[in-house]
């Protein structure tokens, strides 16, 4: 019979590992939403200028677009858990650097922090597969919820924290504290083991053969959809507080609006994800996220001071196009190797295109002195996203039918 003393470590270990995972996930959007909430204060304090204020919201997508190339190589050399620890350390370092109130140092700190963030973001699904293979869905839901809560918390409290510290750049750097806490718990709890080959040589050969095959039907449409949703989402995450301040709201309330948008993603994901099953449901899912985005954008365009919290909630529901896109990525392809190729193609293209969104939005606003053209283009983008989604639905389900027929 197993004694209680021998049972306790076995029972505690998974719980502690999930705790470490949640603490890490809480940090995966803090650097982005805290900076977005503080853009106005940073500019007024001279910590950002007319050039750097446009660059900061565009950095995350640019770094995400290139991070996958080096991350896989680092993980194969150091091990997944060790690489996550390094990513957390780099994230904390970048956040601390942003305490220095000089425009290009804030930009450099943002690049460094986002680089560490991107590494961790890419590897967390691999951590889940390695340590929670029997509960992937449950654990993924837990850490995805933590991501949304962390993003919402940072957005809503970044301005009050900065005011309490007496400096917007110190307000940026303060978010290194949860990153350091997560790093400490991760280093204690997770097995920082030696790298091990995830795929045997036979699988590598199969992957090489698969790489020479054409991508499955719907990949390029899915890449277009992913690019559009990423572009719209990162413009909203990067510029919503500044747009709200420009409409006459206080910086504190503007930060809360972004917090609302991010928090809506928690129940919104639960609502949207079941709609990735079946053609009719998928069409409904595409219609819901696009309509929500359009509604929120039009609200800020025509009545920004009337019901801004409602408009922010609609924008948050619209950003649930992201989990819907992830569900579609997993559904295209005949096997895991082909799905991985689809994922790499879709996300690389998507984040590369999405970089133009925050950058272009800031540049356009500076050129015309108004957010109206940006909001109009966002509404048009939502309509195009809906159109691409509806076309994609037919292609995906015809492709699934063809695969079943061959099998």
Contact 119, 84 (CB under 8 A): yes
Query: Tell me, what's the pLDDT at 198?
Result: 42
Closest CA to 406 of 335, 305, 310: 335
Average pLDDT (365-386) is: 94
Task: Give CA–CA dist 203/218, Å, rounded.
Answer: 25
Least Cα distance to 176 among 95, 60, 88, 86 occurs for 95
Q: Kindly state the average pLDDT of the residues 97-118.
A: 92
Residue 343 pLDDT:
67
Distance from C-alpha of 85 to C-alpha of 92, rounded to nearest angstrom:
11
pLDDT of residue 24: 93
- pLDDT tens profile 61-90: 888 878 766 776 777 788 888 889 999 999
Q: Name residues whose C-beta falls within 8 Å of residue 2's C-beta, 6 or more positions apart in sequence.
A: none
303 pLDDT above the threshold of 90: yes
Q: Which of 163-167, 262-266, 337-341 has the lowest mean pLDDT?
A: 337-341
Band of pLDDT at residue 2, cut at 50, 70 and 90:
very low
Transcribe 6-51 into DSSP letters.
HHHHHHHHHHHHHHHHHHHHHTTTHHHHHHHHHHHHHHHTTSS-TT
Q: Dihedrals φ, ψ of 333, to 5°?
A: 115, 155
Contacting residues for 109 by C-beta, under 8 A, at least 6 apart: 94, 95, 96, 97, 98, 100, 172
- Residues ≥6 apart with Cβ < 8 Å to 67: 115, 118, 119, 121, 122
Q: Which of 241-255, 313-327, 370-384, 389-403 is least confident?
A: 389-403
pLDDT, tens only, 182-231? 999 999 888 765 554 444 444 444 444 444 566 666 788 888 998 999 99
Question: pTM for this structure?
Answer: 0.74
Which residue segments constitute the domains of the chain, with CATH numbers given? 8-198 (1.20.1250.20), 212-407 (1.20.1250.20)
Say which range, 101-110, 114-123, 205-214, 293-302, has the weakest mean pLDDT: 205-214
Q: How far apart are CA 79 and CA 182, in angstroms?
A: 18
Q: What DSSP character marks residue 59? A: H
pLDDT given for residue 315 in this prediction: 96
- The structure tokens 């063809």 sit at 402
Query: What are the pLDDT digits (tens) for 132-161?
Result: 777 766 777 787 778 888 888 898 899 999
Planar angle of CA 108, 114, 116, nearest 5 degrees: 110
pLDDT at position 184, please? 94
Contact call for residues 26 and 231 (beta carbons, < 8 A): no
Q: Which pLDDT score is estimated for 149?
A: 86
The widest CA-to-CA distance across the chain, in whole angstroms, is 76
- What's the pLDDT score for residue 344? 67
Nearest to 285 by CA among 251, 345, 327: 327
Tell me what the mean pLDDT of segment 360-373 comes to.
Answer: 92
CA–CA gap between residue 178 and residue 356 (Å, rounded)? 30
Give the Cα separation of 262 and 378 in Å (integer): 18
Q: Band of the pLDDT at 169, cuts 50, 70, 90?
A: very high
- Distance, in Å, from the CA atom of 7 to the CA atom of 343, rounded to the nearest integer, reads 40
Rg (CA), the chain: 21
Whether pLDDT at 235 is above 50: yes
Q: Helices 103-131 and 4-26 sit at what angle, rounded to 10 degrees?
A: 150
The alpha helices in 101-250, defined as continuous H runs, are 103-131, 136-165, 168-173, 176-189, 201-211, 219-246
Pair of tokens at residue 168: 């917007």
pLDDT at 371: 93
pLDDT of residue 403: 42
What percentage of the chain carries pLDDT values higher than 90? 37
Predicted pLDDT at 338: 62
- What average pLDDT does range 16-40 have in this prediction? 89
Position 3 scores a pLDDT of 40
Return the pLDDT at 205.
Answer: 47
Higher pLDDT pick, 371 / 127 = 371
Average pLDDT over residues 331-359: 73
Average pLDDT over residues 253-268: 87
Instruction: Please say whether the beta carbons of 151 and 33 come within 8 A.
Output: yes
Distance CA 109, CA 93 (A): 8
d(CA 90, CA 30): 14
Q: Would you mind telling me the total number of residues written for the chain in this entry? A: 407
Kindly report the three-state secondary structure assignment for every residue of 96-107: HHCCCCCHHHHH
Give the residue carrying structure tokens 């400490």: 184
C-beta of residue 235 within 8 angstroms of C-beta of residue 378: yes
Of 311, 169, 292, the residue nearest 243 (C-alpha): 311
Count the neighbouring beta carbons within 10 Å of the beta carbon of residue 330: 13
The predicted pLDDT at position 214 comes to 67
């Amino acid at each position: 019979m197993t004694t209680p003393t021998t049972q306790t470590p076995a029972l505690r270990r998974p719980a502690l590992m999930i705790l470490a995972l949640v603490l890490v996930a809480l940090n995966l959007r803090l650097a982005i939403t805290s900076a977005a909430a503080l853009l106005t204060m940073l500019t007024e304090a001279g910590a950002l200028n007319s050039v750097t204020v446009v660059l900061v919201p565009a950095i995350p997508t640019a770094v995400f677009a290139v991070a996958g190339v080096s991350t896989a190589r680092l993980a194969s050399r150091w091990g997944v858990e060790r690489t996550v620890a390094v990513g957390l350390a780099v994230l904390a370092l970048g956040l601390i650097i942003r305490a220095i109130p000089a425009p290009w140092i804030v930009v450099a700190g943002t690049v460094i922090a986002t680089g560490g963030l991107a590494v961790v973001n890419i590897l967390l699904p691999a951590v889940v597969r390695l340590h929670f293979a029997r509960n992937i869905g449950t654990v993924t839901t837990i850490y995805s919820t933590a991501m949304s809560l962390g993003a919402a918390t940072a957005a809503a409290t970044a301005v009050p924290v900065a005011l309490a510290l007496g400096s917007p750049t110190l307000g940026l750097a303060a978010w290194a504290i949860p990153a350091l806490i997560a790093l400490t718990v991760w280093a204690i709890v997770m097995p920082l083991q030696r790298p091990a080959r995830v795929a045997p040589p036979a699988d590598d050969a199969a992957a090489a053969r698969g790489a020479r095959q054409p991508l499955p039907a719907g990949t390029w449409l899915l890449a277009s959809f992913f690019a559009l949703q990423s572009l719209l989402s990162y413009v909203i995450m990067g510029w919503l507080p500044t747009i709200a301040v420009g409409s006459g709201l206080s910086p504190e309330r503007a930060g809360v609006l972004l917090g609302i948008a991010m928090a809506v993603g928690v129940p919104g994901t639960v609502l949207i994800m079941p709609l990735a099953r079946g053609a009719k449901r998928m069409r409904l899912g595409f219609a819901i996220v696009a309509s929500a985005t359009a509604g929120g954008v039009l609200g800020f365009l025509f009545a920004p001071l009337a019901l801004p919290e409602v408009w922010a909630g609609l924008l948050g529901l619209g950003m649930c196009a992201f989990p819907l896109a992830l569900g579609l990525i997993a559904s295209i392809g005949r096997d895991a190797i082909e799905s991985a190729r689809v994922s790499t193609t879709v996300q690389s293209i998507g984040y590369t295109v999405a970089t133009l969104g925050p950058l272009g939005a800031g540049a356009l606003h500076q050129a015309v002195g108004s957010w109206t053209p940006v909001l109009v283009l966002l509404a048009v983008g939502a309509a195009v996203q809906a159109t691409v989604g509806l076309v994609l639905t037919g292609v995906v389900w015809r492709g699934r039918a063809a695969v079943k027929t061959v099998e």
